[in-house]
Amino acid sequence: MIFDRILEDSLSFIRRMLWARSEKTGTSRPPFQSMHTIEGDNGVISLLEGRDTPRAVRTWMYSPKRRDMNSAQMVASTSSMDLHIYCDFLGPLPTAHTPKAEEEREAAKARRQRGEIVPTHRLQIFKASHFLNKDGFYTYELVFWQDYDFFVANGPKPDQMARATVDYLVKQCLRLGEPLKYKAEDWEPIVEKVRNEVKTAILAKQAS
C-alpha cells in the first residue's frame, strides 16, 4: 500500500538522521541539508532537503529552543523532542509511464470528473528525540497523518498548493507556544484552517 511505503520511508529517514547524530557513525553530517531557517521566540523551523523518497514535496523540522543548558545537561535531564513535518505526493510518479501508472491516472481523472475527492498528498507529523534517552536510544512516534486533495480547478498545480500550505502550517509552529504537546485531534483543525486560508489567499491573488 502507498501509505505503508511512505510511512516506512519516513521512519527509515528519521532513523538514519538520528543515527547520524551519534558519534558511532564517525560523522556529524546528517543525511539532509538545511536550506532555510526561521527563528521564533520559542523555537526554530528548518526547511530540509535530502529526504530519500521521490515522493517528497516538503520536509520541515521544528526545534524548540533549549535555553541555559549545554548538551550534556540536556541529555541528563530531559528527553527533548523535535517535530518533523513531511508532505509527500500520492499516485504514480511523474516519470512512471507503465500501463498501471496510466490506468491509475485515468481512474483518478474519472473520479474527479464525477465530483469525488481524490487525495493528492499525504501530510505526516512525527516527534523525534533530539538527544539520546536515558537508555541510550533515540525515540520517535507518529503524531498525525492525513491525506488531502490539493487540486484546485483553474488554480496552481497541486504540488504548489501543497508546498504553500505546509510552509504556512510550519510557520504556525512558531506561534503555537508548545506544538510538541499537540495531539492528532489538535492538528486536524489547524491543518484544515491553514488549507482554507492558503486556498483563499491564492485564489484572491489570481483574481486580482
pLDDT digits (tens, 9 = 90+) for 108-127: 999 999 999 999 999 999 99
Burial group, residue 200, by CB count within 10 angstroms (0-12, 13-18, 19+): exposed
Question: Residue 70 and residue 172: Cα distance in Å, rounded?
Answer: 27
| Dihedral angle over CA of 126, 200, 148, 168, nearest 10 | -20
Task: Tell me the mean pLDDT in the region 9-17.
Answer: 57
First-to-final CA distance of the chain: 42
- Per-residue pLDDT for 75 more than 90? no
- Per-residue pLDDT for 34 more than 90? no
**Strand pairing report for 56-64 and 33-39:** unpaired
At 54, phi and psi to the nearest 5? -70, -10
pLDDT of amino acid 16: 58
Q: Report the predicted TM-score, pTM, of the whole model to 2 decimal places.
A: 0.78
- With cut-offs at 50, 70 and 90, classify the pLDDT of residue 31: low
Question: Residue 25 and residue 195: Cα distance in Å, rounded?
Answer: 40
- Give Rg (Cα) of the chain: 19
- Per-residue pLDDT for 130 more than 80? no
pLDDT of amino acid 58: 94
Question: Residue 45 and residue 34: Cα distance in Å, rounded?
Answer: 10
